[in-house]
A and B are shown apart, each in its own frame.
Chain A
């Protein structure tokens, strides 16, 4: 039987305790934007992609997902947000392939699948466009607390008053935060880098 010096066991225990204490002291990452105090599972979406495939959030488990509700006739905020996401993905480099951006139309009367695809392709061909019937889109908006309404009765020339928040879902499928339009791109970049590093 080997006799170990009495101090080595205590030293090992001390090391383990110190490591545990340090791990416990790691600050919890604080997401930017409007983080949810207790992130819940992101509501699933019963929608269809622009290539006609059913969209299921669970299929993207393990990847950060960004959701935005907009419309292709939007002159300002929707293309600005989509362009900002595109720029952030450029900053991420090869890691950007892990990030999913889904654009959900709030204007199904004008936004055919082809129109949404064409709009998104101006920014990034990896972006997903989601459409559906009015009921499915209304359900999606309700699940995420999104408001959308036409600002005119003119059937052709109208804009939409709508929620412009960009929702971030973590790789575990939890809705962790959302960003209003005035948030700088740097905060989205920082949050995505955190999720990708953690992943």
Chain B
């Protein structure tokens, strides 16, 4: 029993060490890639795959988040006669938490899975070894462009999700629930600050980096065969999902502490 636990613990520590080394290599390689013009076409190509093609699904996600929040919160606020403040609740939830987190989760599924499957297949068919054998660093050629594309575009995609969440929430509140639009927008504008939007967007950099690094790592280290690639995709999504939630919590704590240090805590209602 103790031996089994010890072996399992050692394996975890070793796996963590391997991931830490990979992460450090990705950071240094990505940083140096920024200064090389040869990297730009690769990043541009990945931006198209990762960013542009994700816009529709991210916008749909954002819209449904806003609409669902409106439906769920209306009864509670209407019971207290505060239905005109529904916009504050919806929009601050969307821009600070639900928009970034759900957009990132959607990206982890759409992009993370694809990255792991692509790199995993390249790994098992020796294409990554082929890149190495031709004197090219596979981390620089394959991982850095994907990480940079995710890092740069996840915040942009979060803005799209936020926008559609706000539009979706307003649509249900004003059209479906017949809330007066003027107080709805005026309370929303007074309740949400640039800080709230910025926190959500800043989270995007961390979420994007986490999704890309974890997915690429799982692809690079996947076991042989179709089952190995499939398992790596599952592990990549689970690890990305947990990382997104953990990072969101950590950034929530940090942003709140920073806000409370700089300004007075605000009361929305």
Q: Real complex partners, A and B?
A: no
